[in-house]
Amino acid sequence: MPKKKLYIRTFGCQMNVADSEAIAQALAADYALTARAEEADLVLINTCAIRRKSEEKVRSLLGSLRVLKKRRPQLLIGVGGCVAQQEGERLLVAAPHLNLVFGTRGIWRLPDLVHRAAQGERPVAVELTPGVCALPHRLRPAGQVQALVTIMQGCNNFCSFCVVPYVRGREESREPGAIIAEIADFLAANGKEVTLLGQNVNSYGRGLPEPVTFPELLAKVAALPGLARLRFATSHPRDLSPELIAAFAELEPLCEHLHLPVQSGSDKILAAMNRGYTREEYLKKVAALRKAKPDIALTTDLIVGFPGETEADFQETLKLMREADFVQAFSFKYSPRPQTRAAGFPGQVPEAVKTARLARLQALQEELTLKANTRLIGRVAEVLVEGPSRRSPAELCGRLRTNQVVNFPGPPELVGRLLTVKLTEAHPHSLKGRWVAPSTPWPQVA
Ligand code: SAM
Ligand code: SF4
């Protein structure tokens, strides 16, 4: 019997992208993926609750699916991920056309949930059952060169603005043997780049029967034959250890890139956020990283308009951005989230002030990104080709080890390959280059 069709829409972070891949695998016996919701038998929305805007997008998509369901009443619709975890049963009440709800730890129960939904039940699975993080072995499709590998789930940090600990539960690490086996399979099928995922990878290994540190895990992964590039996200600045900093100098596959979310440059705001570090401590770690790996590219997350943030606090953030010299930043207006402490803090900042600060911050980041891209002009560097460029079908798009984006002319057969490219032009969001030869080590000045 031909397989039925599954359409998955993913919102949010890399963790959700990895979860959507797991959803496809969990249902692979009965469902093949389709890129068109109109022809699907099952539509699953993998949601993000980090800001209100992300939640609103889900509600609007759910609204538009009502029309599809009217046309094809046998269509099954499910909502999963962080909003599902937060709202549970309430989603079924708000959307009578919804068939099932599954939370952040309900993915591997999907075959049963979908079966029950097909029988007319409306199942809800949102238990945050604690225990060892026993995620099933993930298999990647042949030809895939980049893999997102979940090494832990949940978070114990309770930053005062963040909903993650409530929707993804307590922190749990996956057994190193399971992680290594999954990556070894991926590399045996010609995989090239691995990104290890967790909300705070620096606390990886706590609570395992035989505790392992994150730098120890990194060393084991880096030693696997065939691995060209190793990355990880996300690293909490408070727990960035000297051993992890040293790993950047020691492990060849570990890319010269670190995403180290600072959130704010003001000590007063960092304390109110419960981040556990000061601006000076953060900048000291930045200096240590640059000493270990002078070419390292640092990227970050920033929040503007956190409760109590004054113009002077915001200026501190702009100053820190210059001092840390970020190559890229994801920046957000503070969004009050249910259950979090900051939602009840006094001094909530007006929306117009948040909007104006975000624009100023993004203008500064654009300047810093362009400066970082310009520094690379004339270099010859390794690029992993990810696909066709968005601007022109005659061009390819890939990434440097620093994670900077490079577009260059080339045929589609080069997708998935590591190439050497001469960098010729800098733009605010990317670089332009010219393919010169198969791979050579990074960095090499022409
Ligand atoms: N675990 C990561 C860490 O601690 O850096 C962050 C994970 S979170 C999914 C990604 C980013 O979303 C955060 O770094 C923060 O900048 C942003 N974020 C989280 N909660 C937010 C909120 N309530 N309003 C605005 N941005 C928020
Ligand atoms: Fe949220 Fe903080 Fe945990 Fe990151 S470390 S997921 S920001 S609570």
Q: What is the pLDDT of residue 443?
A: 41
339 conformational bin, left if phi > 0, alpha if psi -120 to 50, beta if neither = left
- Residue 439 has what pLDDT? 53
* Cβ(191) – ligand 2 distance below 6 Å: no
Grouping H, G, I as helix, E, B as strand and the rest as coil, residue 414 is helix
Both ends of the chain: CA-CA distance in Å? 57
**Averaged over 13-24, what is the pLDDT?**
94
Query: Which residue do the tokens 């577009």 mark?
Result: 407
Ligand 2, atom 4: closest residue by C-alpha: 199
The residue among 178, 251, 184, 246 whose CA lies nearest residue 208 is: 178
pLDDT, tens digit (0-9, with 9 covering 90-100), for 157-212: 999 999 999 999 999 999 999 999 999 999 999 999 999 999 999 999 998 999 89
Atom of ligand 2 nearest to the CA of 156: 3
Is the CB of residue 39 less than 8 Å from the CB of residue 5?
yes
Average pLDDT value over all residues in the chain: 94
For residue 155, report the distance from its CA to the centre of ligand 2, in Å: 6
Residues with CB under 6 A from ligand 1: 13, 50-51, 161-162, 164, 199-200, 234, 236, 261, 263, 301, 303, 332, 334-335, 337
Judged against a pLDDT cut of 90, whether residue 155 lies above it is answered with: yes
pLDDT of residue 445: 39
What is the token pair recorded at 64? 């538009």
| 321 pLDDT more than 60 | yes
Centroid of ligand 1 to alpha carbon of 317 (angstroms): 16
Q: Read off the pLDDT of residues 207-235 as tens digits, 9 standing for 90 and up.
A: 899 989 999 999 999 999 999 999 999 99
Buried/exposed code over 186-215 (b: 16+ C-beta within 10 A; e: otherwise): bbeeebbbbbbbbbbbbbbbeebeeebbbb
pLDDT confidence bin for 131, thresholds 50/70/90: low
Q: Which of 46, 34, 25 is closest to 2 using CA atoms?
A: 34
For the Cβ of 155 lying below 6 angstroms from any atom of ligand 2, the answer is yes
Which of 66, 92, 77, 53 is CA-nearest to residue 332? Answer: 53
Mean pLDDT of 61-88: 94
Is the confidence at residue 345, as pLDDT, over 60? yes
> What's the whole-model pTM score?
0.94
Residue 93 has pLDDT above 80, yes or no: yes
